[in-house]
Structure 1
Amino acid sequence: MTHDEKKYPSPDEFKPERFLHKDGSLTSDTMPLGFGWGRRICVGRHLADAAVWIAITSFLATFSVHKALDEDGKEIPVIPKFSTGVAVHPETFPCRIVPRFQDASVERLTQLTGLGPSVNITTCLETNGDSTVAE
């Protein structure tokens, strides 16, 4: 459904602007794939959408995501790869996750994201080679 080239030209390309009007406001294009249709549609779909929106925007307000660097400090290009099967998802790819608040402690960064103990920020930062976070 989301690969319909009539509705989404170049469906395999990451183009978030396709969901924006020229003035920058969001289009009303919603695709309730996981929520069902008709009278059996999920009653919690709005709560689920809001929770995901808050989690993503909180994370992006707290961290910036960059391409990974090679040994020479040059950016490694991201080559999109996806799993196959019923539930298709992006495969793991290298990236750098850098805190926007360099003097913030790990505890403070956890509070800012609002994700709580479900995400281990220390492990995430160590995995990405960032040692700029205050302990």
Structure 2
Amino acid sequence: MDALWIGMATILSVLRIDHARDLNGKRIEVKPEFTTGVSVRPQDFACSFESINAAREEQLRAMMTLK
């Protein structure tokens, strides 16, 4: 479980997760819609991942390729 939190914190330190944008650059609002049935979960939605810092992004990529 600790590895999951460390992984999430690492990704969030490198990337900014934001609303998706249309072709005109206008923000696409997320409509909170959910599936129905036994397992209720959010429906898929568009979003944007942007690098905050190129050096940190490169470090994360290097860490991900280590085996």
TM-score by length of 2: 0.71
- Of the three residues 22, 43, 60, the one matched with 1:109 is 60
Report the CA distance between 1:78 and its aligned residue.
Answer: 0.9
Q: Give me the whole-angstrom Cα distance separating, in 2, the residues matched to 1:55 and 1:86.
A: 29
1:70 matches 2:22: yes
Name the SS for the 1:52 alignment partner.
Answer: helix
Report the CA distance between 1:92 and its aligned residue.
Answer: 1.3
Greater per-residue strand proportion: 2
Q: Give me the whole-angstrom Cα distance separating, in 2, the residues matched to 1:101 and 1:95.
A: 19
Structure 2 residue ranges without an equivalent (≥5) = none
Runs of 4+ in 1 over 3 A off after TM superposition: none
Largest Rg, 1 or 2: 1
1:72-128 Cα shifts (integer Å, max 9, x gaps): 1111111122222233222211111011113544xx3322xxxx36xxxxxxxxxxx
1:57 matches 2:9: yes
Aligned to 1:80: 32
1:96 matches 2:13: no
Root-mean-square deviation (Å): 2.0
For these two proteins, the number of residue pairs brought into alignment is 63
Q: Give me the whole-angstrom Cα distance separating, in 1, the residues matched to 2:29 and 2:9.
A: 24
Q: Give me the whole-angstrom Cα distance separating, in 2, the residues matched to 1:62 and 1:76.
A: 23
TM-score by length of 1: 0.40
